Amino acid sequence: MRGRKLGRNATHRKAMFRNMACSLISSVRVDEDDPQAPQVPGRIVTTVPKAKELRPYVEKLITMARKARVHAERAREFGTTAERDSDAWRTWRESDKWAQWAAATAPALALRRRAFQLLRSNEAVDVLFDELAERFEDRPGGYTRIVRLAKRRLGDAGEQALIEFVGERDRTRTRQRSAPLVVEDEPESDATPAAADETETAEAEDAAASETEGGASDEEKSEQQ
């Protein structure tokens, strides 16, 4: 079989990934009043191998939601805002527009049902298709991030990691990808330290900027609480 077995049989594994994906996706929408609400939205902590296996599972779901978005958008022009069973709704339901709307929505609905097969939770499917699809509209894959944690799990000392949706706490690029340009008319020994100094100052600035951003977000969080 493809991937890790994780010490489980097929059904156990399937159920586990369903639960994990559901937890990860539902954690995006935080209910503030709930005492058991996730501390950080859009993140779960698990072991490294489980996180790595969960990643394709969740990313395929998001791709499904993104594809459905196009169809939903197209269906909107044939749709109606009238309340169900109202007179306006009835006339719409009997007009050609309904047939066009139904034909346009069908692929989106099919994708939604496929996602529901994998999650078995209406709440998670709603979050997936309403929030995450919009959030990752322009991102061609790579929706999640796995970061290892220093603390081993109590009991079996399993290596822990967090898996979360990208978009928040992203890495700011501090270093230039290409080597700094060396000006030809200057001797190389002079040019290189100067360029290095420049990159260092840029790094320092970036670090300072990210720190202030972090501070601002902290304040926002405390205000929300």
Partner 1 sequence: MAVPKRRQSKSRSRKRRSHNAVKPLELAHCPQCGTAAPTHVVCPNCGYYQGRTMVEVEG
Residues at the site binding partner 1, with contacts judged by CB under 8 A: 40, 147-151, 162, 169-172, 174, 206-207, 210, 214, 218, 221
Nearer to partner 1, 174 or 201 (CB): 174
Nearer to partner 1, 12 or 169 (CB): 169
> Angle 87-94/96-119 helices, nearest 10 degrees?
90
Nearer to partner 1, 106 or 149 (CB): 149
User: Which tokens belong to 145?
Assistant: 């991030």
Neighbouring residues of 104: CB distance < 8 A, sequence distance ≥ 6: 71, 74, 75, 78
What is the SS3 assignment for 159? strand
Nearer to partner 1, 16 or 40 (CB): 40
**Shortest distance, CB of residue 140 to partner 1, whole angstroms?**
23
The DSSP code for 120 is: -
Q: For residue 201, with 0-12 CB atoms within 10 Å meaning exposed, 13-18 middle and 19 or more buried, which class applies?
A: exposed
**Shortest distance, CB of residue 32 to partner 1, whole angstroms?**
17
**Shortest distance, CB of residue 162 to partner 1, whole angstroms?**
7
**Shortest distance, CB of residue 149 to partner 1, whole angstroms?**
5
Nearer to partner 1, 82 or 162 (CB): 162
Contact 164, 59 (CB under 8 A): no
**Shortest distance, CB of residue 197 to partner 1, whole angstroms?**
19
CA distance 38 to 51: 17
Nearer to partner 1, 2 or 171 (CB): 171
**Shortest distance, CB of residue 142 to partner 1, whole angstroms?**
16
Which amino acid is located at 113 in the chain? R
CA distance 128 to 17: 16
